[in-house]
Amino acid sequence: MDAPTFRAQFPVLERCAYLNAGTEGPVPSRAIDAARERIELEGRLGRSGRSFFMGLIELASAARAGYAEVLGCAGEQVALTGSTTDGVNTVLSGLDLRSGDEILTTDEEHPGLLAPLGLARRSRGVELRVVPFAEIAGEVRSSTRLVACSHVSWASGQVVDTASLAATGVPLLFDAAQALGAVPVDVGVLGCDFYACSGQKWLCGPEGSGCLFVRPERLQELEIPWPSYGSLADAQRPLELEPTVGAARFDHGFPSGLRSAWALAALDVLREAGWEWVHERAATLAGKLAESLTERGIEVLPRGRSTLVSFRLADRDADQEVQRLAEHGVSVRSVPIYASVIRASVGAWCDEEELERLVALVAE
């Protein structure tokens, strides 16, 4: 894929250096068109009739297949959710967690994971143990019922030791908000049981989109926390609550045509560029940014081969610096769990000039 051609598909890049996909990804023109066309179609033809509803289901099936391709799994192993946190809540609510069960997590987790863990501790009596991110694999013990942590830390860009975690044999729930679409993912190789993902970040989809991978062997261990029409194998016998095949039983609500159309269009743009190219370019650019910042004497937090670069400006207020950078056409964010830390999210849509501009601005 030619980088300038790829960049040209993201209108926001005409206005600024967009380094904030870890919050929400840039929207490709094709997704804008798909969303507009979907709204116009529903407004013009209405939202009723069998053909309309079957069309929604077909779009959702295509979105499920699109997510499965990036995850490296079969479509029936994927549930459609509204966010990473939706997936986390599905797992924690569905597991038979009991008082005294230990859940192991890390000191670099996002509130989207921590809040559901906090509820499990308060309402079900689980014991929650927080350990350093880089040391979590060595902290698993016989009493650990579940490991729940990020694949890629949202705060620093560190990548968790998935191989060592899988070797423990303890069930694994990964928060993949900063992973899916950003780094290569194969849930089979990762050895995880549950993989909760966002659609609006590195996949450039709409807010309220996401997915959850559930390993087939774990399906029967999960109750359906919020059963609905889509959860049923036979909608004519809803009181029997016989679940539909695969992870679709955990879908959140009836599928939105707008959400599916936008998500599919964005996935198509990334797929056509080539996932290997997208992942490699983004990680390489992020590594160069980290090196350039370090060369200018700026402290970069320990990180892995990811798309996130977090750096500390000890003499400045992080939020004020984020605002100053925005005024100079560079979009980044602060990291509230660390003082004076700013995070740049580097996508394949970025280029070297933008990264050089960021370095020059923060080194002033």
Q: What is the mean pLDDT of residues 174-197?
A: 98
Cross-strand partners of 337:
none
Specify the 3-state DSSP secondary structure of 166: helix
pLDDT for 76 beyond 80: yes
Q: Which residues sit opposite 102 in a β-bridge?
A: 127, 144
Q: What is the pLDDT of residues 287-305, one digit of tens each?
A: 999 999 999 999 999 999 9
Give me the pLDDT at residue 29, please.
98
Q: E-assigned strands of 166-285?
A: 172-175, 194-198, 210-214
Residue listed under structure tokens 């040391």: 135
Report the pLDDT value the prediction gives residue 288, as an integer from 0 to 100: 98
Instruction: Express as a percent the part of the chain with pLDDT over 70.
Output: 100
Tell me how far apart the alpha carbons of residues 140 and 130 are, in angstroms, rounded to a whole number.
11
Does the pLDDT of residue 273 top 80, yes or no?
yes
C-alpha–C-alpha distance, residues 58 and 218, integer Å = 26
Q: What is the largest CA-CA distance in the chain?
A: 67
Instruction: Find tokens 């560190």 and name the residue.
Output: 158
Q: If you write DSSP's letter for every residue of 12-50 in order, what string do you get? A: GGGTSEE-BTTTSPPPPHHHHHHHHHHHHHHHHH-S-SH
Regarding predicted confidence, which is higher, 364 or 139?
Answer: 139
What pLDDT, in 10s, does the model give residues 193-222?
999 999 999 999 999 999 999 999 999 999
User: What pLDDT does residue 364 have?
Assistant: 83
Mean pLDDT confidence for 67-84: 98
pLDDT digits (tens, 9 = 90+) for 336-364: 999 899 999 999 999 999 999 999 999 98
β-strand 330-331 against 210-214: which pairing, if any?
Answer: unpaired
Q: pLDDT per residue over 13-61, tens digit each?
A: 999 999 999 999 999 999 999 999 999 999 999 999 999 999 999 999 9
Domains in the chain, start-ordered, CATH in brackets?
3-27+273-362 (3.90.1150.10), 33-271 (3.40.640.10)
DSSP character at residue 245: S
What is the average pLDDT value for the chain, to the nearest integer?
Answer: 96
Q: What pLDDT sits at residue 235?
A: 87
* Model pTM above 0.85: yes
Position 73 scores a pLDDT of 98
Task: Give the pLDDT of residue 315.
Answer: 87
- The pair of structure tokens assigned to 237 is 């016998």
Residue 230 DSSP SS3: helix
**pLDDT given at position 1:** 76
Quickly tell me which residue has 């990680």 as its tokens: 283
R_g of the chain, CA atoms, integer Å: 21
CA 297 → CA 115, 164, 302, 353, distances in Å? Answer: 36, 34, 15, 20
- Can you tell me whether residue 331 is helix, strand or coil? strand
Please state which of the ranges 2-16, 127-141, 231-245 shows the lowest mean pLDDT: 231-245
CA dihedral 35, 272, 54, 223 (to 10 degrees): -100
Report CA 249 to chain centroid distance, whole Å.
21
Q: How far is the C-alpha of 277 from the C-alpha of 174, rounded, in Å?
A: 24
pLDDT digits (tens, 9 = 90+) for 306-339: 999 999 998 899 999 999 999 999 999 999 999 8
